[in-house]
Each structure stands twice: as C-alpha cells, then as structure tokens.
C-alpha cells in the first residue's frame, strides 16, 4: 500500500470537501464553514471558553480566539467575564448566532449527505467513520517532532 498516496487522497479530499461546503454556506447563508464550526461548538456547550473551542476543533487557542473575534464583530456571539477566572471569558451565541446556525445547519447537513453519504454505501461510510475515529484517537493532540529515527551504529 502506498501510504503517500493515502495521505494525498485524504488531505486533498479534506481540502475539496471543506472548500465545497464553505462555498455553499457562503452562498446560501452568508457564513463560513470555519465560523459555523465554532458556533456549533458553542451551541452544543451552551457557553464555553475559547480554550474549549480550540480543544474541540483541534486548533490553536490563538486561532480560536481570532475566530471568536470575527463572530463577535458579526454579532453572532458575545464574551462575558468568566466568574471564576479573571483571565478567561465565556463565549455564548447571540440570537443572531443561533439564527445563523439554524439556517446554516440544514445546508451543512445536505452537503455532507451529498458529498459523503451520496458516493459511499452505508457500510463503506461506517468503515470510514470507524477508521477515522481510530486514527484520531491514536494521534496526540499536540504532536511533537514525530517518531524517533533509528540511531546509526558508530564504529
């Protein structure tokens, strides 16, 4: 098996999938896929910290903070001081954010169905879901430099 080809197929498919869904969401709902992802995390939690968003989406805290800043400027979320930690804030969706999720959610679901469930039979989609879950579980959250190379023998 050519692992480089598997890598290329996985990464290129993810890029094409993201770009296609993002374009549809922008066109139909005036929201980006990145913004929707953040709002979905906040919606599930009810309220959360930026660190929680970063962990849920496997992105940096800085990236999550910038995403929240953009959503805040659009009026889709607010930050309020964390009651127990002055260094942190609580992120919540606004009414406009909840409306945006309600509008974009069905478009997102239709795109996922068309792009994932459409081409794959249920059994293959189940195998893909299981394989991805195993790979994610085996991948450290903050990868280091990678596997240690074998040391060369010295004479």
Query: Tokens in use for 87?
Result: 């260094």
Mean pLDDT of 43-72: 94
Residue 72 placed within a domain: yes
Residue 56 placed within a domain: yes
Query: Tokens in use for 133?
Result: 């879950």
Mean pLDDT of 21-25: 98
Tens digit of each residue's pLDDT (9 = 90 or more) over 98-153 = 999 999 999 999 999 999 999 999 999 999 999 999 998 998 875 555 554 555 54
Q: How far apart, in whole angstroms, are the C-alpha atoms of residue 118 and residue 47?
A: 34
Q: What confidence category does residue 72 fall into, taking pLDDT thresholds of 50, 70 and 90? A: very high
What lies within 8 Å, CB to CB, of 104 at 6+ separation is 25, 28, 29, 31, 36
Q: How far apart, in whole angstroms, are the C-alpha atoms of residue 9 and residue 98?
A: 35
Residue 63 placed within a domain: yes
| Residue of 21 and 86 predicted with greater confidence | 21
Q: What confidence category does residue 155 fall into, taking pLDDT thresholds of 50, 70 and 90? A: very low
Residue 69 placed within a domain: yes
Q: Looking at the chain, how many residues does it have?
A: 155
Residue 19 placed within a domain: yes
Name the least confident of 41-50, 54-63, 83-92, 114-123.
83-92
What lies within 8 Å, CB to CB, of 125 at 6+ separation is 116, 117
Q: How far apart, in whole angstroms, are the C-alpha atoms of residue 64 and residue 56?
A: 10
pTM: 0.85
Residue 47 lies in domain: 3-113
Q: Which of 51, 50, 42, 37 is nearest to 92 (CA)?
A: 42
Query: Tokens in use for 3?
Result: 């692992």
Domain with residue 50: its CATH number is: 1.10.10.10
Count structural domains, the chain: 1
Q: What is the pLDDT of residue 154?
A: 46
């Amino acid at each position: 098996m050519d692992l480089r080809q598997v890598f290329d197929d996985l990464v290129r498919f993810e890029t094409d999938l993201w770009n296609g869904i993002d374009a549809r969401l922008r066109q139909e709902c005036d929201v980006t896929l990145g913004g929707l992802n953040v709002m979905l995390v906040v919606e599930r939690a009810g309220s959360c910290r930026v660190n929680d968003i970063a962990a849920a989406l496997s992105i940096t805290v800085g990236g999550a903070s910038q995403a929240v800043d953009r959503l805040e400027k659009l009026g889709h979320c607010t930050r309020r001081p964390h009651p127990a930690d002055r260094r942190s804030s609580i992120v919540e969706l606004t009414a406009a954010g909840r409306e945006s999720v309600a509008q974009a959610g069905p478009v997102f679901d239709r795109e996922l169905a068309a792009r994932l469930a459409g081409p794959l039979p249920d059994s293959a989609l189940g195998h893909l879901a299981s394989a991805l879950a195993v790979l994610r579980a085996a991948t450290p959250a903050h990868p280091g430099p990678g596997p240690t190379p074998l040391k060369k023998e010295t004479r």
